[in-house]
Amino acid sequence: MKKAMLLALVLFAATLISAEGLTESTDDMLTVYAYDSFSGDWGPAAKLLPAFEEETGIKVNLVGAGDAVEMVSRLELEGENTEADVILGVTDDFAYRVYPYLEAYDSPYLDVIDEELVFDPEHRLLPFDYGTFAFVWDSECGLEKPQSLADLTKPEYRNKIILIDPRTSSVGLGLLLWTYNIYGDGEEFEAWWRAMKDNALTIADGWSSAYGLFTEGEAPIVLSYTTSPVYHVMNENTTRYQTLVFQEGHEAQIEAIGIVKGTEHRAEAEKFIDFILSEGQLDTAIANSMYPVNTSLELPDAFNYAPQPEKIFRSGDTSPETVEALQEKWISIMTE
């Protein structure tokens, strides 16, 4: 027993030393909170961070903080005690939640961003890419191609669709707002979601896990973006996976980056944001399969396989009160 206790104390002390060492090693580094698909092996970070560090000499401690909603929740929970200097991947639909934790920054690259994409006039959040939500379809699945949100509720799509949780994912929240803009928040809205309880194979916690299940062949339809086929064209030379464009309209979303209030690395944070809005734009657009905000860029031909819907709803135009009410209604429907 004494040996076991001694071993436990040694391991505990080693953990403290290791943790202390880690803290010391990141004191002079810029800590960036980012959503998982940005910071993962196939995300933009793998190429962007080495380029930024080589160009500026600034070391970056990138923290994968879950999906976008989880990342914001983490910053709220940590508050003034957060280690984050920059938060990357906040979307316009729930940007209101992070404004109290951010400092304004008038980047010189605001001049090359389309004014319609700058949703925060105080520049606490600066857009770096944007996209439009859509369902992506495996054209080799043998099913009839759905033509509308209503089509997705048909019996032939039972267990054929992968959805994403709006409580943990900005993509899942995007679908919630999309159905609200099509059906309102009454009986039609509730009927659509009740039907989808049968047709959804699963409700993933985030986009990465959902799209992974889709490409593994678990289901032929997944919630994603109109730009998702770009990845498959560029990296797999295939047009098998296609965007479903519905005439009733689609929900658009803007991703943004901001400087955390009270950071001791303000100058480094500004340089990082400027890099993301300039040299980092093309790599981010390609890796994320999203549209860049920098209007001076020329995109690869593969983006021709990302159809632009004629009718667009803006996620950021929905009030915070409506967003919260819709989430509560969704939870109620799904837990009946």
Phi first, then psi: what are they for 163, rounded to 5°?
-105, 175
Residue-level pLDDT at 107: 97
Q: Are residues 230 and 282 in the same domain?
A: no
Q: Are residues 6 and 75 in the same domain?
A: yes
Number of domains in the chain: 2
Q: Are residues 235 and 169 in the same domain?
A: yes
Residue-level pLDDT at 40: 72
Two structure tokens written together for 22: 């880690």
Distance, CA of 127 to CA of 287 (rounded, Å): 16
Q: Are residues 245 and 257 in the same domain?
A: no
Residue-level pLDDT at 26: 58
Q: Work out the angle at residue 104's Cα, subtended by the Cα atoms of residues 103 and 105, and round it to the nearest 5 degrees.
A: 120
pLDDT in tens, 161-205: 999 999 888 889 899 999 999 999 999 999 999 999 899 999 998
Going by DSSP bridges, is the β-strand pair 126-138/241-244 parallel, antiparallel, or unpaired? antiparallel
Two structure tokens written together for 32: 């960036």
Q: Which amino acid is at 158?
A: R
Q: Are residues 47 and 18 in the same domain?
A: yes
pLDDT in tens, 130-148: 999 999 999 999 999 999 9
Q: Are residues 90 and 150 in the same domain?
A: no
Phi first, then psi: what are they for 223, rounded to 5°?
-75, 125
Taking the chain (336 residues) in runs of 10, the rounded mean pLDDT of each run is 36 36 59 86 85 95 84 92 94 91 97 92 96 96 96 96 91 93 94 94 92 96 95 93 96 95 96 96 89 91 91 84 90 84
Q: Are residues 33 and 66 in the same domain?
A: yes
**Domain at 103, CATH number:** 3.40.190.10
Q: What is the enclosing helix (H) or strand (E) of 312?
A: strand 312-314
Q: Are residues 141 and 102 in the same domain?
A: no
Two structure tokens written together for 174: 């995007």
Residue-level pLDDT at 52: 96
Domain span holding position 142: 132-252+308-334
Confidence (pTM): 0.80
Q: Are residues 57 and 200 in the same domain?
A: no
Could you tell me if 109 and 278 are in contact, meaning their C-beta atoms sit under 8 angstroms apart?
yes
Q: Are residues 9 and 156 in the same domain?
A: no
Q: Are residues 151 and 92 in the same domain?
A: no
Q: Are residues 10 and 122 in the same domain?
A: yes
